[in-house]
Chains A and B, each alone.
Chain A
Amino acid sequence: MDRQVDVVVVGGGSTGCGVVRDLARRGLDAVLVEKGNLTHGTTGRMHGLLHSGGRYAVSDQKSARECIEENRVLRDIAAHCVEETGGLFVKRPEDSEEYFQEKLEGCKACDIPVEVIDGEEARRREPYLARDVEKAIALPDGAVDPFRLCVSNAADAREHGARIETHAPVTDVLVEDGEVVGVEIEHETGPGKRVHREPGTTEEIRARHVVNATGAWAGNVGEMAGVDVEVRPSKGVMTVMNTRQVDTVINRCRPKGDADIIVPHETACILGTTDEEVDDPEDYPEEEWEVDLMIETLSELVPALEDARTLRSFWGVRPLYEPPGTGTEDPTDITRDYFLLDHGDRDDLPGMTTIVGGKLTTYRMMAESISDHVCDALGHEATCDTAEAPLPGSENPARMEALMDEFGLRSPVARRSGQRLGSRADDVLGEYDPNPIVCNCESVTRAEVQDAIGEAGSDLNAVRLRTRASMGNCQGGFCTHRIASELAEEYPEPVVRDAEDELYQERWKGQRHALWGEQLSQAMLNHLLHATTMNRDGDPANLDGEVDFGAFDAGADAGDAGVDGSGGETGTAAADGGRASDDAATDGGRADGDAATDGGRADDDAATDGGRADDDAATDGGRADDDAATDGGRASDDAATDGGR
């Protein structure tokens, strides 16, 4: 039987990571289980706004007060995750003056420091702002990197003895004698650090208390325990721009509405968002009009957005909750407050607590209150220090000059690395010499990638979240293979291949909705490069048959290959299975060459299958690469028919 721990926290978003850190620091034995990567659900799909509280200053002053309080805490304890951009609520001529005043009064009432500036001053601070912006309220909004924040929380928890288990979905909540006693999880890819292609195993983790911090998924976990948690998931779209058109958070000062915020985030800007209730947090439509709406509406604030390059779009699902019976129609009216559901009191099922609602900015406060609750339940006495103890990386700021001088980094590389790594920069960057750049767009060096691999194993999406590698304008086109090759020393070839493919596909997925102009060119270039240099459109290594790599580059049979030239033309046509005319066009002048190398055996190729792929490769000899290149645009099943070609 598995040993019992104090607490299992389900959900590796900001709340779950915050809770597990808090509990671990209070000396409890805690385990965090997450079905994907850390931030896999909602946390990784937000616009990265560190609220000043201004957004809720009129509609929800309790939340607004909590936001400004936590805003100050995070600037301190999570300095390396926060960029103090400042924010503006801007008023256009058609926006209500009355609301502007209400907003101003609301902020003052919530102790949010504000300053009213005229349009000219606003444009001096943010030159891309529209010329008809009349005035603005300046307040201390900021940008926060949710990935780094969660990872730092988890890292601190681990330092304090917690176990962090990712890629481990909960398959059951264990209920014995009317009490929750633990969870059963499935290791999708093996326990511990991720290892691909190992059969999944399940594990029962028995615990004195279970915290359900799964946000929009809380209902699913509740269901496993037999309780009803009425989360009302609401989707919102966010569009990522290639560069920062603004360096300040820009909010539209109006009561509510879609597409009213631009958040500078690392090297990019994130446009947000919409608010639309969905049935299933896993399965909802992602539609292009939503992206169009973002760009069109926010161009009223920043005209340059209209022609600027978009990188990708993503949707997130808010874990909105309201107590049963409230019956709010419009999801934008549902409170942003958080709720702690004690299932012992509520459903007569002790041993489990669910936390829903809330927002990233107040994650620590939520974690504190749920940890207080859990400690109460377990009779554990300890004080919370998460508001004072800096997260790993935020102990002191990185020393930029040192990074440049000691590690020979180019200045922007040192700056971005220093910002990402915070006080860990020295340790991480000192590990590798030479330390080449692996991801150029975001200036991520080998040392940083290796550090992330050390933490996250072979899951390159987890490496991405830690480093931002592949999150720049090429969206992995020029670096997925380089990042993957950093795995090669430690992991076997198939693992590296899968990891690369997974990252590449993830990058592609997010670009589909915003694919025009420059990003379309980028996607085509990426595709062709990967197709022609790595056979991504039909990788022989993904076929069932063994690939005889030795047969390439004028391998064993290359000598006889050219001997028999007769019948080559028909051979090519037959081998290509009915695509003869296409081929003639594509192959152009190389038809003769093909004929010679294919020899008379091409007919056999057509008749047989992948089993003969090796021989094909042998006869094609050194020409295999060229063929792959020409075949670039074909569907991958064609490549399969072609065997080794």
Chain B
Amino acid sequence: MKSLLSGNEAVARGAWEAGCRVATAYPGTPSTEILENIIKYPEIDAEWSVNEKVALEVAAGASFAGARALVAMKHVGLNVAADPFFTMGYSGVTGGLVIVSADDPGMWSSQNEQDNRHYGRHAKVPILEPSDSNEARIFTKLAFDISEKFDTPVLLRLTTRICHSTCLTELGERKDIEVKGYVKDIKKRLVLPAHARALHLVVEERLKKIAAHSEVFRYNRIAWGKKTLGIITSGVAYQYAKEVFPDASVLKLSLTHPIPERMIRRFAKQVRKIVIVEEGDPVMETEIKAMGIKVTGKDKIPLCGELTPDVLKSSFSKKTKAPAKSSKVPPRPPVLCPGCPHRGVFYVVNKLKLVVTGDIGCYTLGALPPLSAMDTCVCMGASVTNAQGMEKALGKEFSKRLVAVLGDSTFFHSGITGLVNAVYNKGNLNLLILDNFTTAMTGHQPHPGTGRLARGERGRRIAPEDIARGCGVEMVKVVNPNDLAATESAFEQALEYDGVAVLVFRRPCALLVKPRPPYRIDPESCNGCRLCLRIGCPAISLVFPKEREKPLAVVDEALCVGCGLCVQLCQRNAIFLSRKSDG
């Protein structure tokens, strides 16, 4: 039986078929749907963890106790989880442990383009790279087998085009694998220096064994074509290579670390020329070159940006012309939704001309015009700590014009430690927590502040303001961001306050609440002053009717959700409710 599955759905299915018992994740594009689909399988204990480090450690604990466990994250999530990841490479596993890293070449929804195949090599952990959904399902199962056979965590490395591409996928049944149970073994799991020295030797021996396995691994395979050109490739790049070089001989690598050296040498001997088709960094290329084999790779194929069939083709085309681009049209970057509760906060930030250390989430869109209300964005939680550092460099006076902004989910992820640090080290931090009761950007996953668990069941709600107080913050206020006057007044109090101030701007995500009746603009009263355009609401636009001298602002009633922010800006009371609320 075949079914249409995305790569992420296929990983979830593969985990279920493999008898996985515990799955953890923190949402992050393009990995989010892995856990969202695992939730559908009741046999798997699934949780949204507060961050990737926590997620990996919970999964590692399950593995210690003998259960098969999977943890999923986006590529930058593995930076957060790097600490336990490296040590688990030494400790090894009891129940199979699979770490899924979803990389984002092209940075569709990410702050960098890091190639996490380096992590597998760095932590001495084997890597599997599927090239479509069916392989994603099969490799997830094989990852558990390899993990247990060689006593190692396994990195299943996906990319956006694997995660979010759909194809026909076979379905298997679930293997019922018993939890092995816990047996104390401190030499393996208590990684003191003395134990770790011994484990390092084990790790190096293990890599040799896996390298031997890589030579016979059935998904590392050669498909002979013409011998004038040999392609070595992996992941989605394999699909592009098949399109662009349909006649070439192809060595498709799937267990890509450790690479099968003998197989590569055998292949190299029989083809006249070798091209390494890989997306991102020259990872395979570097290793194969170190074997003394002459290859073409990143000297032709771009290292930056997403690899596509067009990019691959133009890399080898005699014409130097880059792939054709469409003729010029206005750009359409993503924007804050109509009614987004973040808008009011950024409007006030812009009005007060504050310096803003920003963070990762929907609210990063506050950086775009006309709100233009963000100065920095580094990584999850860095808003808090960057602000503290700026104050150290420029002094207390500067901190009165400086705010740090992050969302509720990001606060739980890695804002809390920074807050403790600021309180402890006597900072004058002004922290704005935009609490919309959800992890919005990735599609509304719950977090501790929502009081809901992964499957929607009720959990203990943990409020950001309670955490702030618990961290020793005395100036804590909860504010409605759709009330501009209250928002501005809260800002003034926080900026003047001596010490750490935390403002929690609380209002649910506009996509989670029923829209209110839309507003309209009275053409008689509107004088085209553009004040209402300053909030950057996609529902308001300026038109230039022929019969009018002045332009006219109009509300798109299909988009307006009746948040009423614009009403507070209009000096002429031109914006009014088009109909009464239904109740």
Indicate whether A and B interact: no
Instruction: Report B's interface with A, CB cutoff 8 A.
Output: none
A residues touching B (Cβ–Cβ < 8 Å)? none
